[in-house]
């Protein structure tokens, strides 16, 4: 594949001019214009009332409420292929709440490496030093890179705890694998996988605490997070109590020095939305119908392939992720040969035509667009979108 630079230099100026002149409106629109990176598109064929609202108006502590929550937990384990002994809990406040819960409960026992290359990972680093004030008691090392790149993750220390994001939702940069994590590590790994879980292969033996929100890859409703614990994480929770760190009730994972097992069988810490849980179950059942995890991954990778083919053929659009091995298949971030103001026009044009909604780049990212290509998005819709990108590029320059 030619590099961005070589493609641009090899492209005649005449071609660039012809692109600007090509402003004929494409004939076909995507069947769904929903390419938002969160909350994300609902599954194909979704209808709010297609599901079985068996416990709306019922207590989450009732037998039917507990069973629904437990069903969601067990289906999660099954579809993700979690190893024996791993725990899954439904917790408050989306992925943010789940990850903060993990940080507040386990960090401080030893030194910490924080690897980040986009805004949310940077936020975890800020919380570690500014709110948890870990540098007052342990060594905290920052491993960082700019948008579009990964830091050198081989420099992380297996004796330290490691905080990292599997897929950078705001940069479109993912870890290609977890080979950088030692199988003999003594520290814990805390992985924010909110736009990776269900769309990317994940080696669970390398992940001790993993968090996500089902509003991403599965297109579920927001407000709830999922927390996955390995046996090593449980051991830490039961052997380490942070000093001088009061934990709010919604963060507490242990009782009398032992894991609060109820959280991981459906006895949630606070009242969940049972409608949202039913919505999640609907998405999980759809996942099973398309081949489970392998089917979900293939759909997302097929969507990325469509965009990659388009980028390869057009010199004016580039992936923010410079290395193809690190390109996200869900949050696909792209830079354009347009000024920041022209990119805003580009995004508004697509929205006005009801072709692509919510595709502006993240506010902290370089001027860019971001197309959600997760598993609930139809590949045919991504294919239909591509000519509209070319149209909007021409129109934005007028």
Per DSSP, 360 falls in state: B
Per DSSP, 131 falls in state: I
CA distance 54 to 65: 9
Q: Per the omega criterion (within 30 degrees of 0), is the bond before 39 cis? A: yes
Please tell me the number of Cα atoms within 13 Å of 298 on its side-chain side. Answer: 7
Which DSSP string do the residues of 235-281 spell out, in sequence order?
Answer: HHHHH---TT----GGG--EETTEE-GGGGTT--SS---HHHHHHHH
Report the pLDDT value the prediction gives residue 128, as an integer from 0 to 100: 97
Report the pLDDT value the prediction gives residue 47, as an integer from 0 to 100: 87
Residue 392 phi/psi, 5-degree rounding, is -65, -35
Instruction: Give all domains of the chain, ordered by start, each with its CATH number.
Output: 4-30+292-396 (3.90.1150.10), 63-288 (3.40.640.10)
Report the pLDDT value the prediction gives residue 52, as an integer from 0 to 100: 61
Phi-psi region of 42 (alpha: psi -120 to 50; beta: other; left: phi over 0): beta
Long-range CB pairs of 55-61, under 8 A, 24+ apart, other chains included: 55/274, 55/278, 56/274, 56/275, 56/278, 58/274, 60/268, 60/271, 60/272, 60/274, 61/267
pLDDT along the chain (398 residues), means of 10: 36 41 83 97 88 76 94 98 98 97 98 96 97 97 97 98 98 98 98 98 98 98 97 98 93 96 96 94 96 98 98 98 97 98 98 98 96 98 98 97
Report the pLDDT value the prediction gives residue 56, as an integer from 0 to 100: 83
Element spanning 10, H or E:
helix 4-10
CA distance 74 to 79: 9
CA distance 301 to 331: 11
Report the pLDDT value the prediction gives residue 51, as an integer from 0 to 100: 59
Report the pLDDT value the prediction gives residue 54, as an integer from 0 to 100: 65
Report the pLDDT value the prediction gives residue 48, as an integer from 0 to 100: 81
Could you tell me which of 110, 114, 135 has the C-alpha nearest to residue 124? 114
């Amino acid at each position: 594949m030619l590099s961005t630079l070589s493609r641009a230099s090899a492209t005649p100026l005449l071609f660039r001019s012809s692109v600007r002149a090509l402003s004929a409106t494409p004939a076909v629109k995507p069947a769904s214009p929903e390419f938002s990176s969160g909350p994300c598109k609902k599954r194909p064929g979704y209808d709010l009332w297609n599901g079985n609202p068996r416990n709306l108006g019922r207590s989450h502590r009732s037998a039917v409420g507990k069973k629904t929550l437990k069903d969601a937990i067990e289906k999660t384990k099954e579809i993700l292929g979690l190893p024996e002994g791993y725990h899954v809990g439904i917790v408050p406040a989306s992925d943010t709440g789940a990850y903060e819960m993990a940080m507040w409960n386990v960090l401080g026992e030893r030194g910490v490496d924080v690897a980040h290359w986009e805004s949310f990972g940077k936020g975890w680093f800020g919380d570690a030093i500014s709110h948890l004030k870990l540098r007052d008691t342990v060594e905290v090392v920052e491993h960082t890179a700019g948008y579009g790149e990964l830091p050198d993750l081989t420099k992380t220390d297996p004796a330290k705890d490691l905080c990292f994001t599997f897929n950078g939702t705001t940069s479109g940069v993912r870890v290609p694998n977890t080979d950088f994590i030692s199988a003999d590590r003594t520290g814990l790994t805390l992985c924010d996988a909110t736009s990776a879980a269900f769309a990317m292969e994940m080696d669970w033996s390398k992940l001790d605490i993993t968090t996500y929100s089902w509003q991403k890859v599965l297109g579920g409703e927001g407000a709830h997070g999922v927390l996955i614990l390995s046996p090593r994480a449980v051991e830490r929770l039961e052997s380490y109590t942070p000093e001088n760190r009061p934990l709010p009730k919604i963060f507490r994972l242990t009782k009398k020095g032992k894991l609060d097992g109820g959280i991981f069988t459906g006895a949630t810490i606070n009242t969940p939305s049972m409608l949202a849980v039913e919505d999640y179950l609907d998405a999980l059942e759809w996942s099973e119908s398309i081949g489970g995890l392998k089917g979900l991954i293939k759909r997302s990778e097929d969507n990325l392939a469509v965009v990659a083919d388009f980028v390869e053929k057009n010199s004016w659009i580039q992936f923010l992720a410079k290395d193809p091995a690190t390109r996200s298949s869900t949050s696909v971030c792209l830079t354009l040969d347009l000024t920041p103001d022209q990119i805003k026009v580009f995004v508004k044009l697509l929205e006005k035509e009801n072709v692509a909604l919510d595709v502006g780049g993240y506010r902290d990212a370089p001027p860019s667009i971001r197309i959600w290509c997760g598993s609930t998005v139809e590949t045919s819709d991504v294919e239909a979108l591509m000519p509209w990108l070319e149209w909007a590029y021409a129109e934005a320059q007028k």
